[in-house]
Amino acid sequence: MPDKLFFASSNAAKLREFQGIGREHSAGGACVEALRGFAELPAFPEKAPGFAENALGKALHYSRICPGMVFADDSGLVVPALAGAPGVRSARYAGPHATNEQRIEKLLKALSGKEGASRSAHFVCAIALASRGRAVAIVTARADGVILERPRGSGGFGYDPVFLFPPIGKTFAELGEEEKNRYSHRGQAFRKLLNFLNGEAPSD
């Protein structure tokens, strides 16, 4: 396990989740830090059609600029009844500067009148790890759920308030930090990466 893993993102909410997962993973924990001066670094254009491609592109791009082990994620919500939208455009679904509330509002309008299986959805997370412009690992995970007709809960971020996770009957926004990290797509994917770095066999 490297001494530090550097997260290539300006998303503070994601950073907190990865740091929490790293602390919980083992007694010693995994030290996760944001790339210093990320906002001033040359940006990577996320134009790939898939989560894994975008994550890998980001990780390779920033690992060429910054020393150490650099990881990046691309994650989002996939709704089959909406032809996979919001998908890789989850953060830009209602425009580049939209709020979480505006994204949720657009999603609920798009699903208006749909019931049952038409409201099924899943979160996807792809994480890529790179060093000095070379890929080290790519992992993916998903969490399956249902889109509610109105938000529930005050935690989390993004689409969490309308994403019901059936096994526990709660939205991701109704979960505490440790509980969300246990079930979420991001928690599952990051644990896969940490297991890989610890030399453990991959698991589904």
Supply the residues annotated as catalytic.
74
Give the rounded distance of the alpha carbon of 44 from its chain centre: 17
Residue located via tokens 């019931």: 115
Residue located via tokens 């599952």: 188
Query: How many residues appear in the chain?
Result: 204
